[in-house]
Amino acid sequence: MAQQRAGEPAHDPLSTPLLRNTRRAVLVAALILAILFPFLFPNPAITSVAMFTLLFVGASSAWNMFSGFTGYMALGNAIFYGSGAYFFANLTAHLNLKGSIGLFALVPLAGVFAGFVALPVGWLALRTRRHTFVVITIAIFFIFQLLAYNLRSLTNGSSGMQLPIPPWNAQTYNDYFYTASLVVALIAIGLAWSVRRSNFGLELLAVRDDEDRARGLGVHTTRVKLATFALTGFVTGMCGAIYAYYLGSLYPPFAFEAIFDVTIALMAFLGGLGSVSGPVIGALIVEPLQQYLTLKFTGGGLSLIMFGVLFLVVIRFLPEGIVPSLGAQLRKRMRQKAEVSPSPPPVKFKEAVSPRAREVNGGVSR
Amino acid sequence: MGTQIAKAVVDGVLTGGVYALMAAGLTLIFGVMQIINIAQGIFVVLAAYLSYVLQVHLHIDPFIGLIVTMPLMFVVGVVIEWGFIRRLKAQNRSALSILVTFAVAIVIEGILTQFFSADLKTLNAWYVEKSLHVFGFYLPYIYLLGFVLAVVLLAALFVFLYRTRAGQSIRASVQNRTGAELIGININRVSAITFGVGAAVTAAGGMVFGATNSFNPNSGYDLISRLLVIIVLGGLGSIGGALIASIVALVIEDVTAVVWSPIWASTMFFAVLVVVLLVRPNGLFGRQEARAQ
């Protein structure tokens, strides 16, 4: 797996000044494109897809921040999505708020709420590891979905909740939601990036590589796992709140959706598990494609078949995801070039990493 | 109230047997290959549709139809193992297997939707409508027949695992995959057979499921989540554990519906797992899970 870790060895053929500057330029261009997108494509049908894509960028990055970095496959993140959505709906209903741009200020509150939900859920689920953890997150997810049906005083059950409708005209209606989603997506990416660059992120990677050894070396494994789980909940909850506000009505199967759990994982895998850009690229590919397929082949099973086959093909040929696979290919090519030119011999990766980092990562250089 | 609770317990035990049949394949596959087969839920639904086709178009009784559907599902299982699971690289195998089997499930769901639409179907036979009158409550014959079928097939599975050469290889692979490989067991063949047997046993469970519930291509998701809860509750890889766990979970669900309220029944089903894992992190009969990596 190709990863840029903190204290990245200088010999990495992909970190030449030229490439680093190119990468920076591409990022800036992408950001400008993302900001200008509603002006370039003002068609509401397109901005709606773009908005959902950004929500998934946020949710998938958040998923990756926990599951990609620690190796714990959580398949219940819809818990936070739904919690954020219902918290937002309840807040607007109880405070009798009218739809306006100011309501977006409540979105972070919904995120904080979902972050707090993540604490007991994580405390429960993180007592187990590996497969048991996967299953218990699924089980807790279903408990939440059933609670959404049954706690009628909080959710109004299957009759659903209505949210305030903002008085914006149809042409620009999506733009507000698009902007909010973009902000949340950027927060998610920024969080994932800074976690990845920090010592905290290194501790998470150590947990992934060998949890017992990491604990032996003084990593407070439970504390770092739980903290990241809460961060994931915070971001996912904000996505859920925007989603609820956009839909205008909230029903248990849409707020707590099993497919959501797997979709965000698929996106991260497709792009590249454990890398910051992986889930972003995965979401940018999967969500528009999925929307297109359902639009093109409505009703029948054809869209499902194509979607499934596509994933089987991707997993078969790019098992490590797009970003790491391409990165590995590029590196190989650069190395070959370097070997031809009479430059000083490249430092071996293992030697460049400090002994402690090597120890923490189980002596495996990737 | 007393009779109602008694009936709930009986119902729970009888349906528990059928769930054990569906979960046995899942836990067996996990035991041998250390992967979670998300497609197991759609296997159940696929088997129900196969029985449905045989019944509607060829007028074959679902129980007799098992002679056709079980070998057919065996082949489906072997093909999926050979086509997708075997090709996964060792690194990240367990996580990727979840995605692969999920993708397989989506494809099967799509095919079923294409052929049968999303309309709810159910299997019909005299024993589905008629009930046995005992101790003041009515028991549909299908529950009894399904339970008997489950007992017979699980017994057959045990005989297969403990009395045949192939079964011995499977058990050896469960205990120690590398060790089994070292003493000359063909792990690929064992994995294929396990997947096939897991799917074939599920075929029988799917038939009974189709006769006791209405189903559509979407039913697989609810099923897989329940089956996963059962096999974790019973301890991953333990067939006996899966049997007891499914009976315990379904009795609790059915009794909750009577003494509390039907709307909380499903919640209790999942809550049982959470509570048990608080006390026993490896499930009721699980072995200590190996150190991560």
**Is A127 in contact with B30 (Cβ distance < 8 A)?**
no
Q: Searching chain A, which residue's CA lies closest to the CA of residue B265?
A: A146
Q: Say how far apart CA A244 and CA A250 lie, in whole Å.
A: 6
CB B199 within 8 A of CB B70: no
- The domain limits of chain B are 2-279
Q: What local confidence, expressed as pLDDT, does residue A301 receive?
A: 78
DSSP state string for A83-109:
HHHHHHHHHHHHTTPPPSGGGGGGHHH
A101-104 contact pairs (CB < 8 A, 24+): A101/A166, A101/A176, A103/A164, A103/A166, A103/A245, A104/A176, A104/A180, A104/A242, A104/A245
CB neighbour list of residue A77: distance below 8 Å, 6 or more residues apart: A59, A62, A63, A232, A236, A260, A261, A264
Question: Hey, what are B268's tokens?
Answer: 């209790």
Chain B residues touching A306 at Cβ < 8 A: 110
Separation in Å, CA of A138 to nearest CA in chain B = 7
Residues of B in contact with A129 (CB under 8 A): 289, 292
Which residue from A128, A134, A304 is facing B110, i.e. has the nearest CB? A304
**Interchain proximity B104–A315, CB inside 8 Å:** no
Q: Cβ separation of A308 and B289 shorter than 8 Å?
A: no
Strands A249-250 and A161-162: antiparallel
- pLDDT tens digits for B100-110? 888 899 899 88
B136/chain A closest Cα distance in angstroms: 32
Share of chain B above pLDDT 70, in %: 94
How many whole angstroms separate alpha carbon B19 and alpha carbon B175?
A: 25
| B229/A301 Cβ within 8 A | no
Interface test with A, best of B270, B275, B282 (most A CBs within 10 A): B270
B205-218 pLDDT per residue, tens: 888 888 888 888 88
Residue type, A238: M
Beta strand B131-134 with A161-162 is: unpaired
Q: How confident is the model at residue B64 (pLDDT cuts 50, 70, 90)?
A: confident
Tell me if A130 and B112 make a contact (CB, 8 A cut-off).
Answer: no
Q: Helix axis angle, A221-247 relative to A199-209, nearest 10°? A: 100
In A99-165, alpha helices (H): 107-125, 130-150, 152-155
Per residue in A215-224, pLDDT (tens digit) is 888 888 888 8
Interface test with B, best of A149, A261, A305 (most B CBs within 10 A): A305
Taking chain A (366 residues) in runs of 10, the rounded mean pLDDT of each run is 46 72 85 82 82 92 90 88 91 80 83 91 84 84 85 79 81 84 91 88 82 83 88 93 89 84 86 86 87 76 82 80 80 76 51 44 40
B141-166 per-position pLDDT tens digit: 888 888 888 888 888 888 888 888 88
CB contact under 8 A, B110 and A305: yes
Chain A nearest CA to B111, separation (Å): 6
The two three-digit tokens of residue B52, written as one number: 């449905």
Position A116 scores a pLDDT of 92
Report whether B272 contacts B281 (CB < 8 A).
no
B126 or B226, higher pLDDT: B226
Q: What is the pLDDT of residue A81?
A: 93
Write down the mean pLDDT value for chain B: 83
Please check the confidence at residue B94 and state whether its pLDDT lies above 80. no
Output the pLDDT for position A274.
Answer: 82
d(CA B242, CA B239): 5
Q: Are A85 and A212 in contact (CB under 8 A)?
A: no
Q: Which of B100, B112, B264 sits opposite A315 (nearest CB)?
A: B100
CATH fold for domain B2-279: ABC transporter involved in vitamin B12 uptake, BtuC (1.10.3470)
Q: Which residues of B touch A315 (CB under 8 A)?
A: 88, 96, 99-100, 103
Instruction: Give the residue from A341, A350, A355 showing the smallest Cα distance to A16.
Output: A341
Report residue A32 as tokens: 């400008």
Preferred mutation among A63, A138, A219, A307 to probe B, highest tally of B CBs within 10 A: A138
Contacts of A76 in chain B (CB under 8 A): none
Mapped onto helix, strand or coil, the DSSP state of residue A217 is coil
Q: Nearest-CA residue of chain A relative to B101?
A: A312
Task: For residue B262, give the DSSP letter.
Answer: G
| C-beta of residue B20 within 8 angstroms of C-beta of residue B208 | no
CA-wise closest residue to B68 among B82, B55, B81 = B55
> What are the pLDDT digits (tens) for B4-20?
788 888 888 888 888 98
CA angle A141, A210, B86 (to 5 degrees): 70
Q: Are B263 and A150 inside 8 Å of each other by CB? A: yes
Q: What is the pLDDT of residue A59?
A: 92
Task: Round to whole Å and give the CA distance between B32 and B115.
Answer: 34
B130 DSSP β-pair partners: none
Residues 6+ apart with CB under 8 A from A276: A61, A64, A189, A192, A193, A196
Query: What sign results for the dihedral spanned by CA atoms B267, B270, B275, B278?
Result: negative
Per the CB < 8 A criterion, the answer to whether B80 and B35 are in contact is no
| Side-chain-facing half-sphere of B16: CA atoms under 13 Å | 26
Identify the CA nearest to B207 among candidates B29, B83, B21.
B21
Cα separation of A288 and A294, whole Å? 10
pLDDT value at position B74?
92
For A307, which of B84, B88, B106 is closest by C-beta distance?
B106
pLDDT at A148: 86
- Residues 6+ away with beta carbon under 8 Å from A184: A54, A55, A58, A107, A235, A238, A239, A242
